[in-house]
Amino acid sequence: MIGVAVAIALALCTGSPALGVALGALATLVGLRPLPGVGLASALVAAGCAAAVALGMDLESVLAVGLAWFVVHQRSGARRPETDVLLVGLLLVVCATRTRSPWFGGALLAWVLAMPGSLKTPMWVVVPVGALAVPIFLLTPRFVPADLRERDARGLTGFSDDVELGRMQDLLDDPSRVFEARFDRPVTEPPYFRGVALDRFDGRRWWTEAARTREPAYAGALADAVRMDVDLEAHPEGVLFVPGTPDGVDADGLAVERDAGGAYHLPGPPRPVRYTAWVRPPFGPGRTDPFRDAQPRVDVPPVSDAVRTLVEDVVRDVEGPRARMDALSAWLGGSYAYTRAPRDLDAEAPLERFLLETREGHCEYFASALAVAGRLAGVPTRVVNGFVGGEATSPTRLVVRRYHAHAWVEYFDGDQWVTVDPTPAVQAPEAPGRVVRVQEELALAWESFVGFDGERQVAVARDVASVVVPHAGPLASALLGTAFIGALVGLVALGLRRVVVRVALPAAVHRPPDPISRVVEEAREVLAERGWHVPGHLPDLAAARWVGARDAGLGEALEELVWLAYDVRFGGEAAEPRAARARELLDVVRDAA
């Protein structure tokens, strides 16, 4: 047993958690009789798991190893399985603070089911436990380490306030999901989900210095507004993507900021978020923005005379901001080619190289070229980075991935900002398969669960208080509401437990695997009938020793009976030659009890 524990610990520390799980499973199958030094073995496993956590190893595998050791110790008849329950429980708590993986939920369920007597819990216990557990979950403060938030939140290149030209290329072949948008009516055109607006350019990078202000609470949409609900993955930039002209944005009561360029931001550490926006069409080119917070800019970075000549030739006989921008957009779309992998990303003047030499690039180059050309023609412009379109899973539902990232231009016509897109139409990469999409849905549901942080707790408590007991105090209403939700969860858990016990595991739960083990179960039932309150979570051997500490003769008979069952169950011995002796020992238990 100690050897197995050392092997598991070494497997963890040397970076091979799969080996540790395999060794744990092998030890479980072997099921050897307990040997001296079990406590030391448990300590070694715990030390190995702690070392694995410190080294940043995959925490789901660490939990699986701890679970395997717990099962080994339990089934081998350890004297005090409570020690292992505590060790694995502590390991579980550590893992819960260090991982957001959906696999952790399955490992947690396996650990709970492996606990002694977990499937024999009285039915009347489940509902009140649920009623208590849910309020505890809702009200307990959450402390998510900052490094964990940063590790799990993948950056969206091109969506910060300072973007180097060409870096959006990292997103254009990445199928990772960014958000899902659900509209309250069918959307007939690919929406342009607006991210950040950048209005300063030095020839290599775009940036903005727009100040942010707290967005006021949503006061109600206009009659023609479309409601859009979004489930957004965590990303460090904290940008909320909104199409059309927004009337308001609400992120489950969380603080939302809006900058002078019209971009919405969620301050604070990265987190998955669900937000609602009320927006008015159009959602694509031709969209107008009545907000005039941003100062229109016409300053131009240093450009060559060749670039100035190109622009002058296009707009020489064209008057007015709209006509000039339309002419420049048509010129770029008809004279330059689209590619996701432009050459010479690190050129000293990437925009001039695109316009004068390579004549091919992706959306960032087209948008930057139009923005600079517009300013050369006297039209205030800014570049907007966001997403266009998405995978339509229904007429009202879009899944937006990283490769849907896009850049376009907004120009100021003297009264409002107008959207124009100079990039030629291109086909998006092939969408992921159905299996990947199902995995994404499960991961999103899990993220919503583990991302329930302190700010969201306050928002939910406030909503529950207004529904459950409208005239009561906020704290009392929230407590009653969460207890009610917990009772419902308990009822669901009760139904699931009945399914597991009566359908999925009838043989394992209701019927011991061999005739000698059934005699042991009968002996424990006799003890219960005679008033012996043997702790139900104790495995058979530990239960026999518990009885022996109180009645030596009775405990000796019961322990011999248990060893007969272990010989058959784990040692591969035949049950029939031992059946008579097992019945004799059962009679001794009946008489002595």
Condensed to tens digits (0 to 9), the pLDDT of residues 398-408 reads 999 998 999 99
Residue with the bigger pLDDT between 4 and 54: it is 54
Residues 548, 235: Cα–Cα separation, whole Å: 60
Residue linked to tokens 């965590």:
234
Q: What pLDDT does 285 receive?
A: 81
Condensed to tens digits (0 to 9), the pLDDT of residues 18-71 reads 444 444 444 444 444 444 445 556 666 666 766 666 666 666 566 666 666 665
Q: What pLDDT does 396 receive?
A: 93
Q: Of 589, 583, 582, 565, whose CA–CA distance to 513 is shortest?
A: 565
Please state, rounded to an integer, the average pLDDT across all residues of the chain: 75
Paired with 337 in beta bridges are 360
Mention every residue, 6+ apart, whose C-beta is less than 8 A from residue 555: 544, 545, 546, 547, 548, 549
Condensed to tens digits (0 to 9), the pLDDT of residues 141-172 reads 555 555 545 445 555 656 788 888 877 877 88
Residues 301, 330: Cα–Cα separation, whole Å: 23
Of 216-230, 240-254, 575-589, the range with the lowest mean pLDDT is 216-230
Q: What pLDDT does 68 receive?
A: 62
Residues 255, 159: Cα–Cα separation, whole Å: 20
Helix and strand numbers, DSSP H then E, in the chain: 20, 20
Mention every residue, 6+ apart, whose C-beta is less than 8 A from residue 540: 77, 520, 524, 562, 565, 566
Residues 349, 13: Cα–Cα separation, whole Å: 49
Residue with the bigger pLDDT between 242 and 87: it is 242
pLDDT of 205 higher than 70: yes
Q: Where are the domains of the chain?
A: 2-115, 162-435, 512-592
pLDDT of 507 higher than 80: no
Tell me if 452 sits within 8 A of 461, measured CB to CB: no
Of 74-83, 318-327, 426-435, 480-489, the range with the lowest mean pLDDT is 74-83
Instruction: Tally Cβ neighbours within 10 Å of residue 202.
Output: 10
In this structure, what token pair is assigned to residue 531?
A: 């008033």
Mention every residue, 6+ apart, whose C-beta is less than 8 A from residue 485: 134, 464
pLDDT confidence bin for 174, thresholds 50/70/90: confident
Rounded to an integer, the average pLDDT of 539-548 is: 90
Q: What pLDDT does 314 receive?
A: 94
Q: What pLDDT does 166 receive?
A: 79
The model's pTM is: 0.59
Question: Alpha helices, DSSP H only, in 350-394?
Answer: 350-353, 363-376
Share of the chain above pLDDT 90, in %: 25
How many degrees, rounded to 5, is the angle at CA 496 between CA 492 and CA 497? 115
pLDDT confidence bin for 291, thresholds 50/70/90: low
Q: What letter represents residue 519's amino acid?
A: V
Q: What pLDDT does 142 receive?
A: 54
Rounded to an integer, the average pLDDT of 219-226 is: 72
